[in-house]
């Protein structure tokens, strides 16, 4: 492999600045505690690191299990080229979530306590176990890609045998904890602004994660295509986009029905900052991209597809922050805005994630459409090692 | 059966002297935080405060819920509801996720924000004293009898008697009887409780029942999901195989390469 000093570009300089700032915040966090590095308080104990690093991070990784289910369980084979990048995103996403959790937990060195001290009544306990188990599953799902790279044929054959049960376990674990991230908030009915509180929070979290997770696949495919100068599965991606927004629209309809059944419709006409944020969330994240992608001409246009994906992801991000931060402020009686240190750690995590994705995608057969988990052959890695690709 | 202990605070009797505040600081070895105890807030160094609302004084401290939200949400069981009533905390188990703080309907648990090895801090109803048959430090110190310590059912009886015998003085409600499933700190007052900064919008059910409804669906999701997904795998695989065979039969001359 050629080792050359990376060219200095604008985005690389930005990335380095972000990481240096993040490292400084890391130093503050682990020498001064959460008080020195965050704007959290007794009245507002959860902030950006829970809202973004955990809730958004896990949610956007949902493309992994969704694509996995489509290709390996429902055997719709044509989507297989999307499976590996989605698995890689999910795996990195979860590693970053765990990494991010280290910042937010007051006692990160006790994180393993969830293994030995059990409280099955706690949603957080369930989330902890699902995240641990699902990260393991994602590792196992990613493993064949690494095995191909190092040409460990025997292990690869074994992985192929246990592949399907692993995939099924992964889908169940994802379903459970994507929804239980919403269940976390079921216990604070009196603290949340009613536009976001609902007994159906777990359902909403699951549906929006599936929709946004699928759309994330489009986003990363475009970024990878630019970074690696490769073609794009345009047809597959536009379909995935369509399915993504249909699922989100379905979620929105259920939400409106829930509003009607719980007498919350009038809140939609009460104009305040909460309502505005709610409208922004559903317009940017669901209604507008749905209106766009439902049109064949638009969804088959690369730029519009990409733009719609970014909208969906932004709307999703806003939804998670609205649930975990905006909706809590009236109940807490204080306002919260993340400190510059919290923001810089979050930006650093995103940057590190992108670097890791790029590095792995460059060095492992992630975008190998001719090799699959099931009917694998070693053609790709053979060609790769002979330098033909 | 062990009788659950409780605290009854009667706001009509409280003179705002601060003896409970000082006794709590001393019993829990907490540093002094302010010259004027009436201006102090709950914090990692203050487990109870006396608050002044017009000419009524009230106290704030952990309510020691009958079915505590903090106990139910803690992933590692660092919060524990003891048989005697006090809700205690084990800092060695704690991860520092602060879900207890987020979930507490009474906004009670406090955090050591500026420590590298932080713990959650709150009133633990002088558990060590209560275990040994003593009363809490605040009740012992109270010169007017505004804070009483005893068996929960006894204290409820006393509170009811006071409300009945003196309906002009008391606002007719015992706060803590059914707030979020009931608490082991009971409060009676001359004015409605929202005027004293207590949450009046709490459901009567214990909050853990809200999440229990979601949690009890897990076994169904696991079992149902497993069967459904396995069946889908089998069915779709078979469908693909049959389709491939048909395709094979249809084209005899050309090789079977895809595309």
Tens digit of pLDDT for each residue in A6-52? 788 888 899 999 999 999 999 999 999 999 999 999 999 999 999 99
Q: Residue A229 pLDDT > 90, yes or no?
A: no
H helix or E strand, kind and range, residue B5: strand B5-10
Q: What is the pLDDT of residue B255?
A: 54
Q: What is the pLDDT of residue B24?
A: 96
From residue B46, alpha-carbon distances to A333, B15, B32, B51, B143 in Å are 20, 20, 9, 13, 21
A112 touches chain B (CB under 8 A): no
Structure tokens at B121: 């801090």
A27 touches chain B (CB under 8 A): no
Q: How far apart are CA A51 and CA B97, in angstroms?
A: 13
Average the pLDDT over A360-364 and give the result. Answer: 86
What is the SS3 string spanning A122-142?
CHHHHHHHHHHHHHHHHHHHH
What is the number of other CB atoms lying within 10 angstroms of the CB of residue A174? 27
> A4 falls in which pLDDT band (50, 70, 90)?
low
Summarised one tens digit per residue, pLDDT across range A181-222 is 999 999 999 999 999 999 999 999 999 999 999 999 998 888
Distance from CA of A311 to the nearest CA of B (A): 30
Q: What is the pLDDT of residue A368?
A: 58
Q: What is the pLDDT of residue B253?
A: 52
What is the number of other CB atoms lying within 10 angstroms of the CB of residue A27? 13
> B196 falls in which pLDDT band (50, 70, 90)?
very high
Q: Note whether B118 contacts A107, CB cutoff 8 Å.
A: yes
> Chain B residue with minimal CA distance to A125?
B75
Judge contact between A228 and A75, C-beta under 8 A: no
Structure tokens at A74: 């429902």
In 3D space, the residue among B134, B184, B135, B141 whose CA is nearest the CA of residue B159 turns out to be B184
Q: What is the pLDDT of residue B146?
A: 97
Q: How far apart are CA A148 and CA A368, in angstroms?
A: 11
The larger pLDDT score, comparing residue B81 to residue A11, is at: B81
Q: What are phi and psi of B60, to 5 degrees?
A: -125, 135
Q: What is the pLDDT of residue A20?
A: 96
A133 touches chain B (CB under 8 A): no
Rg (CA), chain B: 28
3-class secondary structure, B88: strand
Average the pLDDT over B193-215 and give the result. Answer: 93
DSSP bridge partners of B120: B111
From chain B residues 68-87, the ones with a CB under 8 A of any chain A CB are 69, 72-78
Judge contact between B99 and A121, C-beta under 8 A: no
Summarised one tens digit per residue, pLDDT across range A78-133 is 888 888 888 998 999 999 999 999 999 999 999 999 999 999 999 999 999 999 99
What is the DSSP annotation of B139-180?
Answer: HHH-SSS-EEEEEHHHHHHHHHHHHHH-TTTS-S--BTSSGG
Judge contact between A54 and A346, C-beta under 8 A: no
DSSP bridge partners of B9: B147, B187
Q: What is the pLDDT of residue B259?
A: 43
Structure tokens at A278: 């709610």
Q: How far apart are CA B188 and CA B174, in angstroms?
A: 5
What is the DSSP annotation of A53-99?
Answer: IIIIHHHHTTHHHHHHIIIIIS--GGGHHHHHHHHHHHHHHHHHHHH
Q: How far apart are CA A96 and CA A81, in angstroms?
A: 24
Query: Measured between beta carbons, which residues in chain A are less than 8 angstroms from residue B202?
Result: 190
Q: What is the pLDDT of residue B252?
A: 62
Q: What is the pLDDT of residue A3?
A: 55
Q: How far apart are CA A141 and CA A372, in angstroms?
A: 12
Cβ neighbours of residue B136 closer than 8 Å, sequence gap 6 or more: B7, B27, B125, B126, B129, B130, B147, B149
Q: Residue A231 pLDDT > 50, yes or no?
A: yes
From residue B112, alpha-carbon distances to A210, A284, B90, B91 in Å are 38, 39, 14, 11
From residue A360, alpha-carbon distances to A80, A149, A223, A356, A369 in Å are 18, 11, 14, 6, 16
From residue A325, alpha-carbon distances to A281, A319, A335 in Å are 14, 10, 9
What is the number of other CB atoms lying within 10 angstroms of the CB of residue A137? 27
Q: What is the pTM of this model?
A: 0.90
In 3D space, the residue among A55, A330, A371, A325 whose CA is nearest the CA of residue A206 turns out to be A55
Distance from CA of B42 to the nearest CA of A (A): 9
Structure tokens at B84: 């005697």
Q: Note whether A183 contacts B214, CB cutoff 8 Å.
A: yes
The distance in angstroms from the start CA to the end CA of chain A is 13
Q: What are phi and psi of B136, to 5 degrees?
A: -70, 155
Q: What are phi and psi of B81, to 5 degrees?
A: -90, 115
Q: Note whether B105 contacts A190, CB cutoff 8 Å.
A: yes
Q: How far apart are CA A282 and CA A51, in angstroms?
A: 18
Q: Testing the interface with B: which of A103, A123, A171, A194 to mutate, by most B Cβ within 10 A?
A: A123
From chain A residues 87-106, the ones with a CB under 8 A of any chain B CB are 104-106
Q: Note whether B95 contacts A168, CB cutoff 8 Å.
A: no
From residue B122, alpha-carbon distances to A61, A321, B42, B72 in Å are 37, 29, 8, 17
**What DSSP designation does A50 have?**
I
The larger pLDDT score, comparing residue A65 to residue A371, is at: A65
CB-facing half-sphere around the CA of A34: CA atoms within 13 A: 28
Judge contact between A222 and A74, C-beta under 8 A: no
Structure tokens at A29: 């966090």
Of A105, A127, A168, the CB nearest to B96: A105
From chain A residues 167-226, the ones with a CB under 8 A of any chain B CB are 168, 171-172, 175-176, 179-180, 183-184, 186-191, 199, 202
Q: Residue A317 pLDDT > 80, yes or no?
A: yes
A110 touches chain B (CB under 8 A): yes
Q: Note whether A123 contacts B112, CB cutoff 8 Å.
A: no
Q: Which of A53-57, A58-62, A85-89, B128-132 has the lowest mean pLDDT?
A: A85-89
B94 touches chain A (CB under 8 A): yes
Q: Note whether A114 contacts B202, CB cutoff 8 Å.
A: no
Structure tokens at A123: 């949603």
From chain A residues 58-87, the ones with a CB under 8 A of any chain B CB are 69, 72-77
> A381 falls in which pLDDT band (50, 70, 90)?
very low
What is the number of other CB atoms lying within 10 angstroms of the CB of residue A357? 21
Mean pLDDT of chain A: 88
DSSP bridge partners of B51: B58
Q: How far apart are CA A316 and CA A56, in angstroms?
A: 8
Structure tokens at B79: 């919060």
Q: How far apart are CA A155 and CA A143, in angstroms?
A: 10
In 3D space, the residue among A144, A307, A190 whose CA is nearest the CA of residue A238 turns out to be A307
Q: How far apart are CA B109 and CA A245, in angstroms?
A: 41
Q: What is the pLDDT of residue B228?
A: 94
- Residue B54 — left, alpha, or beta (φ > 0 → left; ψ -120 to 50 → alpha)? left
Judge contact between B176 and B63, C-beta under 8 A: yes
Q: Note whether A75 contacts B236, CB cutoff 8 Å.
A: yes
């Amino acid at each position: 492999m050629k080792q050359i000093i990376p060219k200095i570009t604008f985005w690389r300089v930005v990335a380095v600045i972000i990481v240096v700032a993040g490292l400084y915040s890391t130093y503050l966090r682990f020498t001064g505690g959460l008080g020195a590095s965050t704007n959290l308080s007794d009245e507002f104990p959860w902030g950006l690191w829970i809202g973004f690093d955990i809730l958004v991070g896990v949610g956007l990784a949902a493309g992994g299990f969704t694509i996995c289910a489509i290709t390996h369980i429902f055997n719709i084979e044509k989507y297989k080229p999307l499976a590996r990048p989605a698995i890689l995103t999910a795996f990195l996403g979860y590693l970053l979530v765990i990494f991010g959790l280290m910042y937010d937990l007051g006692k990160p060195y006790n994180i393993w306590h969830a293994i030995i001290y059990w409280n099955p009544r706690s949603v957080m306990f369930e989330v902890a176990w699902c995240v641990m188990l699902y990260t393991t599953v994602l590792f196992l799902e990613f493993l064949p890609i690494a095995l191909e790279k190092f040409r460990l044929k025997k292990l690869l054959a074994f992985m192929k045998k246990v592949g399907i049960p692993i995939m099924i376990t992964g889908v169940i674990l994802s379903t459970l904890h994507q929804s239980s991230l919403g269940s976390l908030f079921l216990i604070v009915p009196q603290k949340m602004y009613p536009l976001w509180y609902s007994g159906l929070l777990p359902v909403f979290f699951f549906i929006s994660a599936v929709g946004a997770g699928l759309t994330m696949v489009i986003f990363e495919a475009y970024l990878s295509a630019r970074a690696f100068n490769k073609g794009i599965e345009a047809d597959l991606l536009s379909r995935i986009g369509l399915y993504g927004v249909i699922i989100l629209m379905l979620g929105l309809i259920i939400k409106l029905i829930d509003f009607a059944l719980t007498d919350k419709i009038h809140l939609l006409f009460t104009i305040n900052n909460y309502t505005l944020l709610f409208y922004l969330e559903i317009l940017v994240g669901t209604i507008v991209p749905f209106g766009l992608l439902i049109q064949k001409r638009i969804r088959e246009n690369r730029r519009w597809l990409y733009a719609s994906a970014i909208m969906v992801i932004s709307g999703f991000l806003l939804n998670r922050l609205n649930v975990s931060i905006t909706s809590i402020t009236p109940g807490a009686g204080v306002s919260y805005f993340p400190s510059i240190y919290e923001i810089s750690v979050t930006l650093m995590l995103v940057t590190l994630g992108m670097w890791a994705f790029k590095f792995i995608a460059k060095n492992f057969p992630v975008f190998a459409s001719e090799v699959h988990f099931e009917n694998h052959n070693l053609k790709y890695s053979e060609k790769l090692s002979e330098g033909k690709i | 059966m062990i009788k659950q202990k409780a605290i009854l605070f009667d706001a009509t009797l409280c003179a705002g002297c601060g003896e409970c505040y000082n006794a709590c600081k001393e019993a829990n070895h907490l540093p002094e935080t302010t010259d004027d105890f009436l201006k102090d807030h709950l914090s990692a160094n203050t487990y109870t405060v006396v608050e002044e609302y017009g000419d009524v004084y009230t106290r704030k401290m952990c309510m020691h819920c009958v079915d505590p939200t903090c106990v139910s949400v803690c992933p590692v069981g660092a919060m524990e509801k003891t048989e005697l009533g006090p809700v205690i905390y084990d800092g060695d188990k704690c991860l520092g996720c602060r879900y207890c703080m987020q979930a507490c309907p009474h906004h009670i648990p406090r955090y050591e924000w500026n420590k590298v090895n932080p713990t959650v801090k709150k009133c633990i109803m002088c558990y060590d004293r209560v275990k040994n048959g003593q009363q809490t430090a605040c009740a012992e110190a109270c010169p007017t009898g505004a804070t009483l310590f005893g068996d929960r059912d006894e204290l409820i009886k006393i509170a009811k008697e006071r409300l009945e015998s003196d309906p002009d003085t008391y606002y007719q409600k015992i706060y803590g009887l059914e707030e979020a499933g009931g608490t082991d700190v009971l409060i009676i007052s001359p004015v409605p409780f929202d005027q004293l900064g207590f949450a009046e919008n709490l459901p009567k059910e214990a909050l853990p029942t809200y999440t229990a409804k979601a949690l009890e669906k897990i076994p169904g999701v696991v079992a149902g999901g497993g069967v459904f997904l396995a069946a889908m795998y089998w069915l779709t695989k078979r469908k693909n195989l049959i389709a491939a065979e048909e395709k094979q039969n249809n084209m005899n001359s050309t090789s079977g390469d895809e595309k």
